[in-house]
Amino acid sequence: MKKFLLLFSILLVNYLSAQTADEIIDNYLENIGGKEKLSQIKALKIQAKAMQQGMEIPVEIIMTADGKQYISAEIQGKKIVQIAYDGETAWHTNFMNMEPEKSDSETAQNLKKNLKGEFPNPFFNYKDKGFKVEYKGKEEIEGVETYKIKLTEHPVTMDGKEVSKVVYYYFDTENYVPIVAEEEIKKGQFKGAKVQQIFSDFQEVDGIYFPFSTAQKFNGMTGSEVKMVKIEINPEIDESIFKFVPASKTIDTKTDEKTGDVKK
């Protein structure tokens, strides 16, 4: 009988937690515009300014519902593509020679696994995407009482090994919007460190609310900040920006010393 009661208690707690998580997410989606409006978003174009080490860097972000992405920054008058993905191939600008360069296959695979699911919002239709959520209780963060939600997306591959992709979101208990997203670094010298994204200044764009200010914290220390200048819903997009185009090959030429003619 005791075992039955214990099992029943565990099942009841899990059931209530799932219900609470869904309730929080439903309130959140409703407060930012509603599921119907979110379902109508097919593409987003964001113009922003990143503040880093005293520099103000113009940034452009383009995302589509079918999993394409383009992020570029303008540094010292030069446009640098930080990441672009056309659904199959990922690429970026090589900072040393300023030419387009394919990213490694793991990067492309990981983008393919989760980009569609994260658009336009990872919590929108999360069950259909194969994502999972868990309610982890209340917690005070940044001086605000929040609901802590654990979001598990599709696993990603790092150094040839599959690792889980888990992000903890902290929802303001008053407005039901996430004010912090926290994730653990899984690769490199900072493996195991916590990175937080702080969301604020929610503004309406065509009936949908977006955070117009984000800041990154690394192990509690504030790093870069991004201010949204303009967000467009369903803009016209030139699909060619996502495609990888190799740099033009230069022809090795030599000049004939006697005639002055160019020899290939």
H-helix or E-strand containing 46? strand 43-52
Domains, in order of start, for the chain = 2-245 (2.50.20)
pLDDT recorded at residue 30: 97
What is the full per-residue pLDDT of the chain (264 aa) written as tens digits? 544 444 444 444 444 444 589 999 999 999 999 999 999 999 999 999 998 777 899 999 999 999 999 999 998 889 999 999 999 999 999 988 999 999 999 999 999 999 999 999 999 999 999 999 999 999 999 789 999 999 999 999 988 889 999 999 999 999 999 999 999 888 777 788 889 999 999 999 999 999 999 999 987 777 789 999 999 999 999 999 999 999 875 344 444 444 444 444
Helical H runs in the chain? 2-31, 35-39, 105-118, 126-129
pLDDT recorded at residue 19: 53
Query: Cβ distance 146 to 171 under 8 Å?
Result: yes
Query: Cβ distance 207 to 182 under 8 Å?
Result: no
What are the distances in angstroms from CA 131 to CA 66, 75, 121, 150, 177?
17, 36, 12, 10, 19
- C-alpha–C-alpha distance, residues 207 and 124, integer Å: 16
The one-character DSSP state at 242 is G
pLDDT recorded at residue 233: 98
- C-alpha–C-alpha distance, residues 138 and 127, integer Å: 23
Query: Cβ distance 166 to 150 under 8 Å?
Result: yes
Q: How many helices (H) and strands (E) does the chain have?
A: 4, 17
Query: Cβ distance 30 to 37 under 8 Å?
Result: no
* Nearest to 244, CA basis, from 75, 45, 42, 69: 69
pLDDT recorded at residue 15: 46
Q: Which residue has the tokens 């005639």?
A: 259
